[in-house]
Amino acid sequence: TVRLRLPSDWKENTYHPPRSTLARSSSNNDLLMRTVNLKDYPDFHLPFQNVDANGILEEQADIANMKYVHEASVLYNLRERHKKGLPYTRVGKIIVAMNPYEWFKDLYSDEWQFFYAKKLIWKEDPIQNFRICLTQLEDSNRVSYEPHVYETSSNAYCGLALEQRDQSIMVSGMSGAGKTETVKIIMKHLATVQTSHPSFSHEKREMTNKSMESEIVSKNNEDNARLKIVSKVLQSNPIFEAFGNAKTERNDNSSRFGRLTKLHFAIEKKENATLGAIKNELGIIGDNDGNKISTVPVCSLVGSSFEIFLLEKARVVSHSKNERTFHIFYQL
């Protein structure tokens, strides 16, 4: 057996050995002493925690940067970021979201949307564009900012514009994890990301924001049509939710079906330099397909569609106590 020294603020579920190996615990100088059996661990090695030179447990924005990665260290890292009001943690190219059960207004402001779009999409250097948006090669700029779901949407937009191929974003998690709200945040960012382009005027940007709240008229018929599309796509989301979401014991707005949402974009600006040449300069093996780029082309949202699957049809006629059927039947 071996005795462990753990911080006094640790909860039992933060330290989770393969089996119930806790023999006894005692307090000593505000540190919790625990005894475990080494034979219950592979190779008789205990999982190490990530500490700095002063012995203080570290918290990382990217779990891939942690020296020791195991269940206890991951849970501690997520818990510490959650306590600091940082709901997002990066795991390489994946974003882990911890539902804070409150709305952080500043975290989803226009300024932050523009920040991630400009950082990951609207680079002046086409080589740097391709490096960051498509290859995700090691780059110090990529980890110089906090992880955010806008990082995922920006990379998808960039891949769509440069590769001119369909992009997929999967949002998964347990009931109440925040999937529905995350999808809304991603959709809004993708629908309006073009407004962060350097050539987009402040007037147009204000019109786009207002179009989400009310019907407005632009002096330009083409702009007006685009604004209406963005507005309709974003405002239609709650209507579709009403037919497939319901209250459960764990979640007041639980999705009782799966949905594949498709956003359709049109590439507005064509490019000038061959994509194949950029690949060659970066040392990337691939077909010289002749696609051309100078900067990332601007893509405009032109429509949306969706497919549903695994709808919980039985909820229409029967549901558990303290739960409800679909929202639409109460809203009619």
- Separation CA 177–CA 171 (nearest Å): 10
Least confidently predicted of 45-49, 159-163, 264-268, 323-327: 45-49
Of the pLDDT bands very low, low, confident and very high (cuts 50, 70, 90), residue 134 is: low
Binding residues for ATP: 173-180
Least confidently predicted of 30-39, 146-155, 275-284: 275-284
Q: Is the pLDDT of residue 177 over 80?
A: yes
- Separation CA 184–CA 231 (nearest Å): 13
Beta carbons of 216 and 228 less than 8 angstroms apart: no
CATH number of 85-331: 3.40.850.10
Of the pLDDT bands very low, low, confident and very high (cuts 50, 70, 90), residue 204 is: low
- Separation CA 122–CA 284 (nearest Å): 22
Predicted TM-score (pTM) of the model is: 0.74
> Can you tell me the mean pLDDT for 62-89?
90
> Can you tell me the mean pLDDT for 143-152?
88
Beta carbons of 2 and 46 less than 8 angstroms apart: yes
Instruction: List where CATH 3.40.850.10 sits in the chain.
Output: 85-331
Binding residues: 173-180
Supply the pLDDT for residue 45.
66
Share of the chain above pLDDT 70, in %: 64
Supply the pLDDT for residue 209.
59
Dihedral (Cα; 109, 115, 120, 121), 10-degree rounding: 90
